[in-house]
Structure 1
Amino acid sequence: MALRIHKILNNNAVVVLDEGQEKIVMGPGIAFQKRKNDIVPRAKIEKIFVMEDENEKFQELLRTLPEEHIQIAEEIISYAEGELQAPLNNHIHIALTDHLSFAIERIQQGYQIQNKLLNEIKVLYKKEYQIGLWAKQLIRERLGIEIPDDEVGHIALHIHTAKMDAASMNKTLQQTSLIREMIEIIEKELNMNIDEESFSYQRLLTHLRFALNRIENGEPFHAMDEDMFRLIQTKYEKEFACALKMSQYAKDEYGIDFPDAELAYITLHIQRLTSKV
């Protein structure tokens, strides 16, 4: 059955009615010189969306944002799905498109984009960050605009939270912020500057992320022999005190409770960091 145009959103996007359901159809030049009730050329269809609750919002974005921004966002999403070998949540078409267009406009107006979680994002979401670097190159080629690495980090977060098994953006930001704050506690308590390119730092971040995920999901932690726990607590007294402070901060500020055995594992990671300094 032929799809007929119900509403034109822009040159590359139209709304069709398919068995009474509104669907958004996208493709290059799909609405060029077309009118309502014209047949949608099948050869030009690249994507068909059923947005359900967010249908109106997506249509509004397609009507109002620059078409080149929309096209770039869609190319980034398609590339991300190919690299991750998995479909992303439909909400990414709204969230990333809206965010990216606003970011490009701010950069063009001379605003500085900052991302205080950039170093953590690079380590925790490596694949997504690489996709963000690809997006940076695409934007440079298409628009002649150089987006900063801070913005690459924002793109990476949007892609990560659009993965079907990922937490929401708020939870992802909360977890990443907590990790950043715990790192700052280590630097303050032990009076050191952590080398954020070091393998020890990256291992600590990865460990904290998985520990927080286990707490979030109610999964069991690895047990530790009592004698081993006491040995770590005694041998690495300063590092254990630092781990204890990190744990108390997580409990006070975020309501997250680390088990005792986990404090010993974190202590060992901190010790690796201090031994490199």
Structure 2
Amino acid sequence: MKILKILNNNAVVVRDGQEEKIAIGTGIAYGKKKNDVVNQQKIEKLFVMKENEKLQQLLNRIPEEHFIISEKIITYAEEYIGSKLNKHIHIALTDHLSFAIEREQEGIHLKNKLLHEIKILYKQEYEIGIWALRYIKEKCNIELPIDEAAYIALHIHTMKDQGSDMRQTVIQTTIIRDIVQTITEFLKIHIHEDDISYHRLITHLRFALTRMNQNELHTMDNEMIEMIKKKFPLSYQCATEVAKNILSSYRITLPEHELGYITLHIERLRKQWG
């Protein structure tokens, strides 16, 4: 493989047979020039991307250190979850991290309103985000806010083989946040984010929304629903308020059986924090 273009010390464009590829490796371009042969022992990652030009532009625009950090985080994430991430992660995460570091250097802090929900819904990815913040601090002496761990988690989640696209993930998480807000305001309670009942509610809502998107039913018989209505009238009233708000804001209709399940979760929270 011969070098067609040097992007930085750790990334080069090469010709591999009939294809142009980007080869990544520590010091892969050190002391090299165009048309030199690549030392294949230095290649850590080699891939073809439709967005090759975008990646080249990104690597020419951002500090080389940011690229190295991003690649280290991607490698750690893949080892942590035990599978490869979508190849587009190299552009998405690198661009995000570089911009986040620049913002922090300029004293600009972006709050992540979905932080608490992301911590619960995407626990594994969030832990990777926490590791990434420690690594960035070690390498750049820059302490990014905890909100960034959640942003990184979203990028990791949406680039997993079974992950969804970023837009749908953010929409679903926002809906869940709004549901929790409706419940806490209706019951006039404050829920501790580490409470197990809160975790159960968040997890249930995530799968409930996924089931509805995939037209899968999770049925509860009518007799059970009627019993729940009579036994937990306040919690059921709260669940119907949730349904009304979700329909109004997102045009999503919660089926009757789903209201039954949500009522049970609300009742647990009401007893715990009411």
TM over 0.5: yes
Alignment map for 1:96-245 (pairs within 5 Å): 96-221=93-218, 223-245=219-241
Q: Which moved more, 1:174-183 or 1:242-251?
A: 242-251
What is the deviation of 1:252? 2.3
* Secondary structure of the corresponding residue to residue 180 of structure 2: helix
SS of the counterpart of 1:14? strand
Whole-angstrom CA distance in 1 between matches of 2:36 and 2:131? 37
Instruction: Kindly state the Cα deviation for residue 154 of structure 1 after the two structures are TM-superposed.
Output: 0.5
2:46 corresponding residue in structure 1: 48
Q: Is 1:246 matched up with 2:259?
A: no
Q: Which moved more, 1:4-13 or 1:246-255?
A: 246-255
**Distance apart, 1:255 and its partner CA:** 2.4
CA deviation string 1:198-239 (max 9, x = no partner): 000010000000001111112121x22222111111121111
Equivalent position of 1:258 in the other structure: 254
Letter in 2 for 1:76: I
Alignment deviations for residues 18-41 of structure 1 (CA, whole Å, 9 cap, x no partner): 222110001111111211110001
Which residue identity is paired with 2:258? E
Match of 2:35 in 1: 37
Distance 1:112 1:90 in 2: 28
Alignment check: 8 A CA contact 1:236 1:267 kept: yes
Residue 71 of structure 2 is aligned to residue 74 of structure 1? yes
SS in 2 for 1:164: coil
Partner deviation per Cα, 1:122-144 (whole Å, 9 max, x = no partner): 00000001101111111111111
Question: Which of 86, 91, 94 is the matching residue for 1:89?
Answer: 86
Q: Secondary structure in 2 aligned to 1:111? A: coil
TM norm structure 2: 0.97
TM-score, scaled relative to structure 1: 0.96
Secondary structure of the structure 2 residue equivalent to 1:35? coil
Name the SS for the 2:14 alignment partner: strand
**SS of aligned partner of 1:70:** helix
Unmatched runs of 5 consecutive residues or more in structure 2: none
Between the aligned partners of 1:51 and 1:225, the Cα distance in structure 2 is: 50
- In 1, the alpha carbon distance for the partners of 2:171 and 2:70 equals 25
User: Contact (CA 8 Å) 1:107, 1:113: kept in 2 or not?
Assistant: no
The 2-side partners of 1:195 and 1:139 are apart by 29
Root mean square deviation of aligned Cα: 1.0
Query: For residue 26 of structure 1, what is the aligned residue in structure 2?
Result: 24
User: Structure 1 stretches of 5 or more lacking a match?
Assistant: none
The separation in 2 between residues aligned to 1:121 and 1:92, in whole angstroms, is: 19
Aligned residue-pair number: 273
Distance in 1 between the 2:257 and 2:157 partners?
30
CA–CA separation in structure 2 for the residues paired with 1:204 and 1:268:
9
* Paired residue type of 2:152: I
1:163-210 CA-to-partner distances (Å, cap 9, x unmatched) read 111111000000000000011101111111122210000100000000
Determine the C-alpha separation between the residues in 2 that align with 1:22 and 1:243.
Answer: 56
Alignment of 1:11-22 (within 5 A): 11-22=9-20
Q: Distance in 2 between matches of 1:22 and 1:257?
A: 49
Cα distance in 1 for partners of 2:132, 2:193 equals 24
Which amino acid in 1 is paired with 2:64?
E
Letter in 2 for 1:160: H
